[in-house]
Amino acid sequence: MSSGSTVSDNVCYRHQDRQSFVLCQRCGRTVCPDCQTQAAVGVHCPECVREGRQAAPRTRPAVVRAFRRGGSTAVVTYSILGLCIGIYLLQIIPGSGVTSALLYFPPLTYTEPWRMITALFVHSQNSIFHILFNMYALFLFGPLLEGLLGRSRFLALYLLSGFGGSVAVLLLAPMSAVVGASGAIFGLFGAFFVIQRKLGGNSVQLFVVIGLNFAIGFLPGTNISWQAHLGGVIVGALVGLIYLATRRPEQKVRQIALISSLAIGLVMLTLLRLFVI
């Protein structure tokens, strides 16, 4: 004890009847054992502990951080991957009926138009290579495009391309039942090619993956069609061109209008095929 100290200096500031010679490392107040919180160096009093907790940044769960706006995690890509794999596991359960409930068969378009989209999430049960190649391509190019475009634009690209593939099947192969994400995947290829050409990138890896996905069309039991590939790649390229032409922030309204017009155009083609052609 220093020569200038008093007895009152050596009692807990919260419990005046308890003597102590231990000081809070932050504020210097005397604290008894019941009021001490061990810190990296020394101890802290209850008030300093409370202030430190309030000042410390809140750490959110990893899942919440991944979904935050502006995050770098390819949430849409990985969600689609997980959904397709989960549905495939349900498909291979004997008697589940998942495939027949979600596949796209053009004669059902009038009564069950949602199949034009749901078919993107089911794959052939007869060949595991179908889902493997599609998910491999999505795993390679999805995060790249999602990081480049943003989550909402990437999702619009994926769904519109898949829808375009179904429209092409309706127009060119109206009696073919199809399954698979190939139309959407080829849409990613089309958009990636357009964007990469603008940026002057190397397209070798892209052509390799496109070749692999074309090749699986010749495997027995895959039940996929070149029509879906064609429709998907055309729509994907168009979406990529729209994004390139409207990439400045002040062009956001125009971008939404053009993407909406493309979607409406695909719906109109569908209606013309159903009721006119």
Active-site positions read: 182, 229
The continuous run of DSSP H or E covering 55 comes out as: helix 46-55
Alpha-carbon distance of 258 to 264, in angstroms, equals 10
Alpha-carbon distance of 81 to 168, in angstroms, equals 24
Q: How many CB atoms lie within 10 A of CB 71?
A: 12
Alpha-carbon distance of 184 to 213, in angstroms, equals 12
Alpha-carbon distance of 221 to 124, in angstroms, equals 7
Cα angle at 181 between 178 and 185, to 5 degrees? 130
